[in-house]
Amino acid sequence: MRQEKIVEDKIDKGITAPIGYKAAGIHCGIKKLKKDIALILSDYPATAAAVFTLNKVQAAPVLVSKEHLQTNGKFRAIIINSGNANACTGERGYDDAKKMAEETAQVLGIKTDEVFVGSTGVIGEPLPMEKIINGINQISQLANEYGYLDAAEAIMTTDTFLKSFSSSFFIEGAKVSIGGIAKGSGMIHPNMATMLGFITTDAAIEQETFQLLLKKIVDKTFNRIIVDGDTSTNDMVIALANGTSGIKPLKPETESYKIFEEQFYQVLKKLALDIVRDGEGATKLVEITVEGASTEIDAVKAAKAVALSPLVKTAIHGEDANWGRIITAVGYSGIEFDPAKLEIIINDVPILTKNYVVALPIKEANQTLKSKNIHLLIKLNLNGGNATCWTCDFSEEYVKINGSYRS
């Protein structure tokens, strides 16, 4: 095995695994008790790439971060608060988001447009800026290479566990690392959702190449997860590459780039799947694979339709292998297919075969849904279009959580 393909077995250090990054998370008073402000800092100017929500209603931190990305390709810091989304807050909200960037830049001795801003939480309420400014001044003194878990905790809202992951591997004999943290539990739907993702690497890569890579991998990870079908006002995935590993800038189509792309995918996929596992009220992780569609685009449409169906998700929660709900969702997905050719397989067990032949009695079929991890394979048997997305079941707990979110 060639050295550059060896992935190092190491303790996860999340966002600070790559060389030259620090992080911190503290409580500044937005929430009653829990940590609510996080800082991610690169010791050196880092090439930045980012993708943002496609919701027409975009929160102030999204607008400010997009502006900074347009004017500057190098960044040093990301400041994030939880407990308040700073969305639908008008001119005041925009000024507050800008002030977060300005205050962070001032205490760190960097430029304002070298700072990304993120927020998550309740929509429509102004930020408590005095608390946030005090928090920024405190946190700027605390960032260190061991603060990755504190930062991951500080960006949580209804999440029940931290989402942190890293990977270290070798390219041309040099160790390269990628780290990330994310938050998300509800309002999760393709085009991202009420989720934030922050990725760091010590690889060297040009901005245009990095942006294309991030978009490609987000489309295969964060944009393939569904919890409830709602797309938020605040989502963003931001990636920084500071080049401190010493490798040459990665170029597309090279072997080094392919190695990096695969590890980048694995980090984002792990964070994305953790969001689904932590879906509000979820008890099962569901992987939906569509094979044999006319095109990959059709396969994605069909997989997302099934993943989004409340009837499918409640049936899975109730451990009812109701294949009729699955084939119906594929039917309204908008793709062309022959229903008589469709097959449904759950956890490697055939449930429905061609020409609507039921493969198992219902009681036996239901046994395939007893696991906490469900793989639902839908074979259309038309062409070579394949795609996978991920969702979770719907439980009574989802209603409880969202019915009392503001309280």
Q: Are 255 and 354 in the same domain?
A: no
Q: Are 264 and 294 in the same domain?
A: no
Q: Work out the percent of the chain whose per-residue pLDDT is above 70.
A: 91
Q: Are 221 and 147 in the same domain?
A: yes
Residue 54's CATH number: 3.60.70.12
Q: Are 312 and 231 in the same domain?
A: no
The pLDDT value recorded for residue 1 is 28
Bridge partners, residue 42, by sequence:
21
Q: Are 302 and 258 in the same domain?
A: no
Which are the contacts of 166, defined by CB distance < 8 A and separation ≥ 6? 10, 12, 13, 14, 15, 17, 18, 177, 178, 179, 180, 267
DSSP 6: P
Q: Are 95 and 111 in the same domain?
A: yes
Question: Where among 277, 308, 337 does a domain terminate?
Answer: 277
Q: Are 154 and 213 in the same domain?
A: yes
Q: Are 254 and 289 in the same domain?
A: no
The pLDDT value recorded for residue 401 is 63
Q: Are 153 and 253 in the same domain?
A: yes
Q: Are 205 and 304 in the same domain?
A: no
Write out the two tokens for 183.
């938050």
Q: What number of H helices and E strands is found in the chain?
A: 11, 16
pLDDT, greater one: 184 or 141? 141
Whether pLDDT at 79 is above 70:
yes
Write out the two tokens for 222.
């964060």
Rounded Cα–Cα distance for residues 63 and 386 (Å)? 35
Average pLDDT, rounded, for the chain = 90
pLDDT, greater one: 21 or 281? 21
Listed residue (279, 320, 66, 294) closest to 193, CA to CA: 279
Which whole number is the average pLDDT over 227-234? 62
Rounded Cα–Cα distance for residues 274 and 262 (Å)? 18
Q: What is the pTM of this model?
A: 0.88
Rounded Cα–Cα distance for residues 236 and 51 (Å)? 6
Residue 367's CATH number: 3.10.20.340
Q: Are 363 and 267 in the same domain?
A: no
DSSP states of 232-255 as a string?
A: -SS-EEEEEE--TT-PPPB-TTSH
Is 47 a residue of the active site?
A: no
Question: Where among 277, 308, 333 does a domain terminate?
Answer: 277
Using DSSP's 3-state secondary structure scheme, residue 122 falls into strand
Tens-place pLDDT, residues 98-119:
999 999 999 999 999 999 999 9
Q: Are 257 and 167 in the same domain?
A: yes
How many folded domains does the chain comprise? 2
Domain residues for 371?
Answer: 285-403
On the CB side of 89, CA atoms within 13 Å amount to 26
Tens-place pLDDT, residues 321-347:
999 999 999 999 999 999 999 999 999
Rounded Cα–Cα distance for residues 128 and 131 (Å)? 6
DSSP states of 175-197 as a string?
A: EEEEEEEEE-SSS--SS--S-EE
Catalytic residue among 194, 200, 201, 391: 194
The pLDDT value recorded for residue 8 is 46
